Amino acid sequence: MSNLFGLLTLKKESVPLKSIEVQLEVKDHVAAVVSTLNYENKEDKPLEAVFVFPLPGDAAVCHFSAQIGETHIVAEVKEKQQAQEEYDDALSSGQQAFLLEESDQSPDIFSLSVGSLPPGESASIRLEYVTELAVEADDGLRFCLPAVLNPRYQPQGSQGPSVQVTSVPASLVPYSLSFSARVSSPRPISKVESSCSLEPLQYLNTDQTQATVKLAAGHKFDRDVELLIYYKDAHQPTAVVEAGQASAKPGTLMGDPVVMESHQSRIASARDTLLLLLKSLPMGCYFNIYSFGGSYEHVFPKSAKYSQKNLKRALKRVEEMNADLGGTEMLGALQHIYGQPCIPDEPRQLFIFTDGEVCNTKTILDEVKKNCEFHRCFSFGIGEGASSELINGMAREGGGCAQFIVGNERMQPKVMQSLRLALQPLVSDISLSWDLPKGVSATILSPPLRSLLQGHRSLIFAQLTGECSEATDGCLTVRFTAAGHQCQNQLHFDLQAAEGTANDSGCDQKGDLPLTCFTTHRLVARTLIRSLEREQRENGEEVEEIKRVVELSLQSGVSSVFTAFLAVNKSNGKAVQGPLIYRENPTHRQLRHGVWLDLMSDDSCGEKNIFRRIFSSWRKRTSANKHGKSLKKKQFSGDSEPRKSARDPLLELVSLQDASGCWLLDPCLAAALGKSTEDLEKTKPASAKKDVWATILALIWLHGVQVDAKDEWDLLARKAALWLRAKKALCIRDWVEAGNVLLGCNVQTDALGL
Could you tell me the domains of the chain?
2-226+538-585 (2.60.40.1730), 270-426+590-626 (3.40.50.410), 649-752 (no CATH)
pLDDT at 46 over 50: yes
Angle among Cα 596, 602, 603 to the nearest 5 degrees reads 135
Q: Model confidence over 22-34: pLDDT tens digits? A: 899 998 888 999 9
Write down the pLDDT at residue 682. Answer: 93
Mean pLDDT score, 604-625 = 31
Q: Model confidence over 214-257: pLDDT tens digits? A: 988 777 666 778 889 999 876 666 666 677 777 777 777 777 77
Q: How many residues does the chain have?
A: 754
Mean pLDDT score, 63-68 = 87
Contact 42, 123 (CB under 8 A): no
CA 136 to chain centroid, in Å, comes to 9
pLDDT at 664 over 90: yes
Those residues whose C-beta lies under 8 Å from the C-beta of residue 726, and which sit 6 or more positions away, are none
374, 457, 554, 570 from 447: Cα distances, Å: 17, 14, 22, 42
Kindly indicate the confidence band of residue 299, based on its pLDDT and cuts at 50, 70 and 90. confident
Choose between 569 and 82: higher pLDDT: 82
- With 0-12 / 13-18 / 19 or more C-beta atoms within 10 angstroms meaning exposed / middle / buried, residue 459 is middle
Write down the pLDDT at residue 137. Answer: 65
Q: What percent of the chain has pLDDT over 90?
A: 21
Those residues whose C-beta lies under 8 Å from the C-beta of residue 353, and which sit 6 or more positions away, are 270, 273, 379, 380, 382, 596, 597, 598, 599, 616, 617
Q: Model confidence over 339-359: pLDDT tens digits? A: 888 877 666 888 988 876 676
- Look at strands 473-482 and 485-494 and give their pairing: antiparallel
What is the C-alpha separation between 6 and 632, in angstroms, rounded? 43
Contact 250, 217 (CB under 8 A): no
pLDDT at 416 over 80: yes
Q: Where are the beta strands (DSSP E) in 106-248?
A: 109-117, 122-132, 134-135, 141-145, 176-184, 189-194, 202-203, 210-214, 225-231, 238-242
Write down the pLDDT at residue 497. Answer: 65
**Ranked by mean pLDDT, which of 1-10, 170-179, 193-202, 742-751 comes out on top?**
742-751
Q: Which of 632, 634, 659 is nearest to 716 (CA)?
A: 659
Choose between 273 and 690: higher pLDDT: 690
402, 450, 614 from 396: Cα distances, Å: 8, 10, 19
* Partner residues linked to 53 by β-bridges: 110
Contact 613, 290 (CB under 8 A): yes
What is the C-alpha separation between 512 and 618, in angstroms, rounded? 46
pLDDT at 663 over 90: yes
Write down the pLDDT at residue 78. Answer: 93
Backbone angles phi, psi at 738, to 5 degrees: -65, -35
